[in-house]
Structure 1
Amino acid sequence: MKPVKVALVGLGWWGQKIAVTLNGNSAIQVARAVEINPEAAASFHAKHGIPVADSLNDALADPAIDAVLLVTPHSLHEEQIAAVVRAGKHVFCEKPLALTRAGAERSVALCRDAGVVLGMGHERRFEPPVAEMLAMAAEGRLGRLLQIEANFSHDKFLALDRANWRLKPEQAPAGGMTATGIHLTDLAVKLMGPARDVTVSCERLASDLPSGDTMSAFIRFASGGTAYISATLATPFFSRFAVFGTEGWIDVRDRAHVEAPDGWVVTKGMKGAPITVEEVGKAEPVVANFEAFAHAVRGVTPYPITGEEMVNNIALLEAIVSGATSGRTETLQGLERNAA
């Protein structure tokens, strides 16, 4: 397969991680980058030898570029996706896709109508034990799904300069929701379908982070069933995702942050069988996600995260953000609408 050549937009912490992770990949290659910070741009060019511009338009004008990877502030995603689509290129967007359901619907529709692939930075789906969990649920081996319990927490942001966009309430509302919780709701929506309503608690208990450091959400789904999601920005790393069904349950715990994955501990309890504990070795889900995107761009296989799932996840995010300030149970609207 001819490698997909991409422009990497945004050379912060995660952009740097992506560049290192994709170095030497045969399916997808970073061919150029975009960064408005001159020092960061110069450092990246010196390290990787990849040309860096200070404008997205430079990358969009390059006929050698097949796709654009957006690692930029959340509020810019919709405008940037529209620009990429106008240039006739595929787009991979770091999470969250948008901050409102309407914004997500517009981006999904633009990509669908233009016939370009829209990829999402939800690498948690590509962790081997999580992928197995999703497959077991889809095949009915867990029975009727009833409940989800999940937590994704870390304290990495406590060391950030308080001017960093990742800490600004307009870019990253509801505590750790856009940083970590959004991964958990993505998996929850994949398993349970669109949410019906959500009740949220978001507090600032152990830091000066303006959006709060301790967020939890209790979600009820349109098809029945519930989820408890928590995301804390003031504890050492912890990540757990558990799903419970009538035929069995699975609990997946990460040994380390996806920035430097170190394997997983998977506990299963299936009906009529003893509880098992399995150690799963290291894997690189970030690479697996990008390779799935590249295969979709080349028409090998469809991209596994659908537009409908993307929209349903952002609809839930919007309700969680609203509930974090209102203190009320927020009901999701427009569940009858679908995106392709």
Structure 2
Amino acid sequence: MIRAAIAGLGRWGRNLVEAASGHPRLKIVRAVEPDIKAAQQFCSQHDLELTADLDPVLADDTIGAVLLATPHSLHPAQVIACAGARKQIFCEKPLALTHADAARMFGACRDAGVMLAVGHNRRFWPSIRALHETLASGQLGTILHVEGHNSNENSQKITSGWRLSPEESPGGGFTGAGLHVLDAFVSMMGPVERVYARLRQRETGPPPLDTAVVALDFVNGVTGTLATVRATPFYWRVHLFGTDGSAEVLDETTMILRKSGAAPQRLTYPATDVLRAELDAFASAIENKGTFPVREAEVLATLSAFEAALQSMKSGLPVQCQNLQENAGQHGR
């Protein structure tokens, strides 16, 4: 049994605790949350020992892993501290807000001999897994273009806190919802070469109202477009266009397959507990000393494109992605 601690008991941290409940190989036993009063009842319900800071967890030799669901800006220092204490690490996305910070974090974990798993949970959707398999089968032919959209109304419920900070969430809804689509793109198409992005902020809020639109040129010649609306009912779409067909994912369990001369096929896959599957993969990678499905090169390539998009939003001009040679060389590792 892997004894673990969770840092950050906001909405998502609590979701992770509940997903781990009763897990046969991973047991969350401690929690780190500065707002002790707000977290006491939840910790009592889930039998978690509660502390206000990370140091006691790092000093606890019975804790083998730490899950981080904290503000993005805290991730670099926390990951490096956990690596120094030889803890296996699961960190929610975005791992960092810059490619340089993320590379430093992976380096610290590699030097310490511990895992750094990044929580891009949409990778575990049954429909996204089916999309990867469809792409790998070659039945779509040569991929020419990819389109994606991710919007949700979560921001309508957020009227204070770090998620409203431009420093923590640059690029509006692109940092939260849009990054899921960018990760899906990179996992299938590889590194991005050039980005042209626009952010339109209608109201600062709370709740904030903004839209982001991103055009991407991938190293392999594929083009892409991505959009996110910060305050609208949930909508998800990732659509691959190839010379012999197209495949479009619309939610966790639905994919539309289109071929010339044939009616579109609507394929539905059995639903799964996505966060539980993500934690299963984390536990398996620890036990088997293997790799987590979200690979280092993909995380770094995604953050290179993310940084370029933020720069483009400020300048109004296309921006070349950095670290292309490194990302292109490592992709697929």
Q: TM-score higher than 0.5 here?
A: yes
TM-aligned CA deviation for residue 37 of structure 1: 0.2
> Match of 1:174, as an amino acid?
G
| Rounded Cα–Cα distance in structure 1 between residues aligned with 2:289 and 2:323 | 33
**Structure 1: 5+ residue runs without aligned partners?**
255-262
Q: Is 1:191 aligned to 2:181, yes or no?
A: no
Q: After superposition, where does 1:133-172 map in structure 2 within 5 Å?
A: 133-162=131-160, 164-172=161-169
2:116 to 118, 125, 130: 118
1:219 to 212, 216, 219: 216
TM-aligned CA deviation for residue 146 of structure 1: 1.5
Aligned to 2:50: 52
TM-aligned CA deviation for residue 135 of structure 1: 2.3
Aligned to 2:72: 74
TM-aligned CA deviation for residue 121 of structure 1: 1.0
2:36 to 24, 29, 38: 38
SS in 2 for 1:205: strand
Aligned to 2:300: 311
Aligned to 1:245: 242
Aligned to 1:204: 201
TM-aligned CA deviation for residue 103 of structure 1: 0.7
Report Cα offsets for 1:142-177 as digits up to 9, x if no partner: 322221111110121122123x10110000010111
SS in 2 for 1:136: helix
| Rounded Cα–Cα distance in structure 2 between residues aligned with 1:113 and 1:136 | 37
Aligned to 1:289: 278
1:268 to 223, 245, 257: 257
How many residues get paired?
329
> Match of 1:310, as an amino acid?
V
| Rounded Cα–Cα distance in structure 2 between residues aligned with 1:271 and 1:8 | 49
Give the 3 Å change call, closer, same or farther, for CA 212–200 of structure 1 in structure 2.
Answer: farther
Partners of 1:168 and 1:210 within 8 A in 2: no
- TM-score after normalising by structure 2: 0.94
Aligned to 1:257: none
* Percentage of pairs with the same residue: 35
Q: What value does the CA root-mean-square deviation take over the aligned residues?
A: 1.8
TM-aligned CA deviation for residue 207 of structure 1: 5.6
> Match of 1:77, as an amino acid?
H
Q: Is 1:334 aligned to 2:323, yes or no?
A: yes
Partners of 2:126 and 2:270 within 8 A in 1: no
SS in 2 for 1:204: strand
Partners of 1:206 and 1:234 within 8 A in 2: no
SS in 1 for 2:202: coil
Between stretches 130-139 and 191-200, larger displacement belongs to 130-139
**Structure 2: 5+ residue runs without aligned partners?**
none
SS in 2 for 1:266: strand
Report Cα offsets for 1:72-116 as digits up to 9, x if no partner: 110111111000000011111100011111111111122223221
Report Cα offsets for 1:169-190 as digits up to 9, x if no partner: 0000101112111111111111
| Rounded Cα–Cα distance in structure 2 between residues aligned with 1:139 and 1:191 | 13
Give the 3 Å change call, closer, same or farther, for CA 138–109 of structure 1 in structure 2.
Answer: farther
